[in-house]
Amino acid sequence: MGLQGDRYERLVCCEHSLSFPGLIGNWLVRFGTYSVDIAVTAGLDLEMPGPPRWRTPLLMNHCLTAQKLLMPTLDERVTTLLTFVQDLARRNPEVVYGDGKEGSNDSPASRAFARRLAAESLVLLKNEQELLPLKEKRLKRIAIIGPNAKQSIVSGGGSAALKPTYVVTPYDGLLSAAPDSIDVKYHVGCYCEKLSCALSDFGSTLPLQHTSTRRH
């Protein structure tokens, strides 16, 4: 991250590909950046996630005092960020001046677009005997195996955590799309939880198991 030689190449990449004239570090930067002044001078505008480990007031003041970091460079980084924030504010005034509550644009058109976007993002590497797409006349039974088929894991954690307007599990999607002539079977196959499930996952009441008191 600290090489001045890469700065121009990375900035040009961001400008042309993302229409953003600068660099914002993602979560990997926290573990890949080991400098204060070098990263700032190389063009890294923001260290994420916060609170920062390197761009603390103490370390930044040390670099400024030692003249390893100059105020014009720091002003440039801040100007890039503020320009970006102000541009987004102008484009999305309803978010900036709204009620602060999370909302969604859930419509048939947006659902169709999201569905098409997800489908077109998949890359099929191999298709023996033209098995895909599945054809009704060639199918009699479909076996769905695996615990994740009935799980609705739709986002990550932290800033990636979102509240979806609706969720379709792989099992529900296949079941609803399959014609009535096709027999759909499901089996959990195996469990992939890192830890044992809590009893609360099974509801407030559990079926009692008859335990023998006979001594062996």
**Residues 145-171: tens digit of each pLDDT:** 998 898 887 777 777 777 788 888 999
9 lies in the same domain as 85: yes
CB distance 68 to 6 below 8 Å: no
Counting the structural domains of the chain, the total is 2
| Most trustworthy range by pLDDT among 80-94, 148-162, 195-209 | 80-94
- In Å, how far from its chain's centre is CA 51? 20
Residue at 201: amino acid letter: D
Q: Give the span between the Cα atoms of 77 and 63, in whole angstroms.
A: 15
Proportion of the chain above pLDDT 70, given as a percent: 76
Quickly list H helices, 121-188: 170-177
Tokens, residue 214: 């006979």
List of residues 6+ apart from 102 with CB closer than 8 A: 163
How far from 103 is each of 33, 94, 137, 146, CA to CA, in Å? 35, 11, 43, 33
The answer to whether residue 212 sits within a structural domain is: no
Residue 23 pLDDT > 90: no
CA 192 to chain centre: 21
80, part of any domain: yes
**How far from the centroid of its chain's Cα atoms is residue 78's Cα?**
26
Does 79 lie in the same domain as 26? yes
Q: What is the pTM of this model?
A: 0.52
Range of the domain at 184: 135-155+167-191
Per-residue pLDDT tens over the stretch 24-47: 554 544 456 788 999 899 888 888
Compute CA 159 distance to the chain's CA centroid, rounded to the nearest angstrom: 8
